[in-house]
Amino acid sequence: MSTKKDKFSSKDKLYMEIALKLAKSRYGHTGSNPSVGCVIVKNDKIISIGQTSFNGRPHAESNAIKNSTENLNGSIMYVTLEPCCHHGMTPPCTDLIIKSKISEVIYSVQDIDVRVKNKSFKILKSKKIKVKKGLLVNKVKNFYSTYFFNRKKKLPYVTGKIAVSKNNLIYSKLDKKITNIKADKFTHLLRYKSDSLMISYKTLNNDNPKLNCRLKGLKKYSPKRIILDNKLNTNIKSFIINSANKSNTFIFYNKANKSQILKFKKKGINLISSKIDNKGRFDIKILLKKLYKLNCRNLLIEGGDELTKYLLRNKIFNRFFLYESNKKLSKRSNYLNFNSLNLLRRKYKKKINLKLNLGKNKITLYKN
């Protein structure tokens, strides 16, 4: 007797695993749309694949259908998320599926978008297309946890990251390097998977960072730079300001004179006025709502101790990566301690030691 557990074959699982890998490879680069993977199979042979395009359009199903050089009549489509059925900036994927005469659609997870949720299932069934759902559901649901968070909360999914020396410093004027090259590569991977990266003007002025992804061949996928600077005290000669354009750099500020504002605008900076509290801090929840409207969905924050403490206390981070180095930094000149370590450990229920080949450095992931 068949059960729900065995309604999918080992081959079905293999094809969905491939679709999931396609979705994962485009994560963080599909704008306001979720990253989806799609595989089309005919006579037990993969005849086409597709994934959501950069910036979100066309969708994975559309790309897979267009990529096929074979007749799709009688084929099976495996897709990680329920296909769309609404008219937006692109035609519904259900229309393309019906038109191509695909005979069966297997998708893993039901979309939570009210324009789609369970509607595509009914539309495809009404056209005599066999539809199954739930294949690798737990694995794929885990992948879409950030997308579900975005849709439900209308906020970006926020990742925190900080590097700490053996003697608990996050900055030393005489010895700025904390982690090794292997740990640095993980940071650049996080940047590649994030569409935006936030720091304070203090971090910018201290470190003059580039905030880009420096993995080979991936520099063009660097995140947008978000700077918190309530009085526009950012160094106008910094790398970030001199490499800015209208689409890659945003500064949140509160008060500044006209000449300051003009200087930054001439550099191509997007200036966004926002409220501060009586301690001179931005209301981070208002900022996150504004960033969501700017299509920010995966935000990485590389803050210092002060910003990290404020965000931890306000429960802003969805997850946090703590880098710990075996290296001691110099205290002979200006330096900064990481005073929020105990706060970080108290705030999170899950602590995962990432098993990465980082030499004498280690990275711990904290999650709720």
Query: Can you tell me the distance from the alpha carbon of 305 to that of 355, in angstroms, rounded to the nearest whole number?
Result: 26
Q: What are the angstrom distances between the C-alpha of 117 and each of 76, 114, 146, 158?
A: 21, 5, 17, 25
- Got the DSSP string for 182-204? HHHHHHHHHHHT-SEEEEEHHHH
* Pairing verdict, β 350-353 and 76-81: unpaired
Hey, which residues are catalytic here? 61
- Contacts for 208 with CB less than 8 Å, ≥ 6 apart: 235, 238, 239, 240
For residue 21, give the nearest of 136, 121, 117 by alpha carbon: 136
Query: What is the distance in angstroms between the CA of the first residue and the CA of the last residue of the chain?
Result: 40
Burial class (CB in 10 A: 0-12, 13-18, 19+), 24: middle
- Asked whether the beta carbons of 163 and 325 are under 8 A apart, the reply is yes
Instruction: Check the CA dihedral 79-30-300-180 and report its sign.
Output: positive
Query: Can you tell me the distance from the alpha carbon of 367 to that of 345, in angstroms, rounded to the nearest whole number?
Result: 10
| Tokens (6 digits) for 289 | 């709502």
